[in-house]
A and B are shown apart, each in its own frame.
Chain A
Amino acid sequence: MTLLDAAGLQTIYGSGCSECLTTTGNRAGTNQCEHCGSVVACANADLRVESGEVLGIVGESGSGKSSLAETLALERDPEATVAGEVAYAGHDGNLLDVDYQTRHALRTGEIAFVHQHIRDGLELEFTGGGNVAEKLLAAGWRSYEAVRERVRELFEATEIPPARMDDPTRTYSGGMQRRVQIARALATDPELVILDEPTTGLDVSVQARVLDMFRRVQREENVAAVVVSHDLGVVRLLADRTLVMRHGRIVESGLTDRIMEDPHHEYTQTLINSVL
């Protein structure tokens, strides 16, 4: 079943002009419009996510991965002009046009986002448990014991020592903070989790454990995910299908194995050959 179907997604920073789309992109080799100076973070992006499936998005820094992820996660950047159509299962109309209440309900219930920067996603002065509880409380949970129980369950599922539950999040290690973000994202049993660079700032062994944990929880809960990463290893490990982005455009898409073993696009070939 198709969970999310997006067509013609476009994010532009700046005034924008009629030439923007023709003067940017992979062929033009830039994402900045030479006429008006606007940055086309992403354009003409079509993608689909089936329920329970993991979609990977790879590309170099500045290729528009995060902009695309933020659009899908219903983040709103007041400086950006966003266009496109997003259809979401069980929801009528374009997801990009919803009013605040609907957006708030979707974001506390069905679509969770794990921010690239921990500070954007967590309140570091709150306890780790409090950060996870916030999602539940915002969704209307009003029994303290039930919230407590669910938080403990999520801490165990994401392999954070429950003994640290009531310590301020700022005292956690980077890996634990990342896990708290994932626990928070999964708190209300969403249909779709969007992870923006889930392994940023983690050393390799912690990266591996966080990814293993996420892969296990993702399969257990059968939650669909969009994983954005510059790291091909992350995408290879998690994603069923992969999109490759460059200069704000999707240049190649397909099954992850096919992309890794038989890259068609010249840029994808370079990307795969350049893995250390």
Chain B
Amino acid sequence: MTESTGDHEGDQTTANDETDGGTRVTSDSVDGALADIETKGVAGYNYAYLDEHTKREVRRAMLKAVAIPGHQVPYASRPMPLARGWGTGGIQASLSLLGPTDTFKVIDQGADESVNAANIRRLAADTADVETTTDTTAADVIQSRHRIPEEVLTDEQRLVLQVPITDALRKVDSSDAANRRRHAHRNYGKMWVHLYENVVEYGEINIASRYPTMVAGRYLMDPSPIPRWDVPKLDDADHLTILAAGREARIYAVPPHTSVEPLAFEDRTFTVERFPEEACDACGSTDTYLVEVSSEDEGTFETRYACNDASFCAKRREDPALTKDHHHDRAGVDWGPGTPNTDAGGETE
């Protein structure tokens, strides 16, 4: 089930047996060419797919993004061997970060097994010669779409989030030029009106994902489509978060130990998703982000809840008492809402 490093070792008869000029593939048929790549590997590509100049440029953008937390830094997003909008920004950031001693994990909506995640992982394994894993605690670089893992990331780890829409303000004004001016002047009145009208309409702030968030008290950031559940994890985190958008060619970052504050009113505070009375159907967790899973069985329609983070759910099935910070040497670094073993807590909503 878990696609770990073992699966890829066969493909990695790479650069060593080809000298130069890349992999020669038969041009007679598509099937033949694909078979050649399967057997001969993808030699001839530069290390980590991207050429050195590109990686350097992406790294520069990342450094600038770290220097100005929350600010969107433009970079020359390259065409990648998958469609824009499918994580091209995330891959470029990951491939620029990865080195041969790194271990790489890719998740898509919490799952390691989705086709997109598996393909991205395989590209990195084939071209960057990295180990891959599904275990959050074993990874050096984690590329993710729409989730931050349940297990607390450490200061050794880097999280790369794929971002479809970079500007939180686009929700209230479609003009990027006007929004850049607003960012420059820290003028977020319009977003506040959006929140105000949200409360008028629903009685609370009802924004499911892309929750507008102030970074280091200066820039308003779109934290990519992570659920509200994950937003507090970014605040004063140990790890570095890089947010990269391929289609929009922008990179921004939340450096370690940076304040990340969701916009909210004093008397209408930020709330995370609530799962009253629900527990994961597979592992019984009540302190994780749950999703509804529907199944139809002999005409009866059944809805169950399950952990969204598949890797952590598998661990919990083996050890139901496992905490989210079990791998940390100091206690009390649990993150995320509703963690039951924080004694002061009872925070479970």
Contact = CB atoms under 8 A, between A and B. Distances in A.
B199 interface: yes
Interface stretch (A75-83, A136-144, A155-163): A136-144
B330 interface: no
Interface in B258-274: 265-268
A166 B190 CA distance: 16
B199 A144 contact: yes
Interface string A111-135: 0000000000001001101110111
Given A126-B197, A130-B197, A133-B196, A144 B189 contact: no
A142 B189 CA distance: 11
Given A134-B192, A142-B265, A144-B268, A127 B185 contact: no
Contacts of A131: 193
Contacts of A104: 185, 187
A137 B267 contact: no
Contact of A130 (B193, B266, B268): B193
A134 B193 contact: yes
Nearest to B181: A100
A182 B199 CA distance: 24
A129 B187 contact: no
Contacts of A143: 265-267
Nearest to B265: A144
A127 B197 contact: yes
A131 B267 CA distance: 20
Given A126-B193, A134-B192, A137-B189, A145 B200 contact: no
Contacts, number: 49
A93 B256 CA distance: 42
Q: Which residue among B187, B197, B201, B268 has the maximum number of chain A CB atoms within 10 Å of its CB?
A: B197
Nearest to A137: B192
B190 A129 contact: no
Nearest to B196: A133
Contacts of B197: 126-127, 130, 166
Nearest to A139: B189
Contact of A134 (B185, B190, B265): B190
Contacts of A129: 196, 200
A146 B265 CA distance: 10
Nearest to A133: B196
Contacts of B201: 166
Contact of A127 (B190, B192, B200, B268): B200
Contacts of B265: 142-144, 147
Contacts of A145: 267
B231 to A, nearest CB: 18
Contacts of B199: 144
Interface in B178-192: 185, 187, 189-190, 192
Contacts of B189: 134-135, 137-138
A99 to B, nearest CB: 10
Interface in A3-55: none
- Pick the 9 closest A-B CB pairs, nearest first: A138-B189, A137-B192, A144-B265, A144-B268, A143-B266, A134-B193, A130-B193, A133-B196, A130-B197
Interface of A: 100-101, 104, 123, 126-127, 129-131, 133-135, 137-138, 142-145, 147, 166
Given A123-B193, A134-B193, 13 more contacts: A127-B200, A129-B200, A131-B193, A133-B193, A133-B196, A134-B189, A137-B192, A142-B266, A143-B267, A144-B196, A144-B199, A144-B265, A166-B200
14 contacts: A127-B197, A129-B196, A131-B193, A133-B193, A134-B192, A135-B189, A137-B189, A138-B189, A142-B265, A144-B196, A144-B265, A145-B267, A166-B197, A166-B200
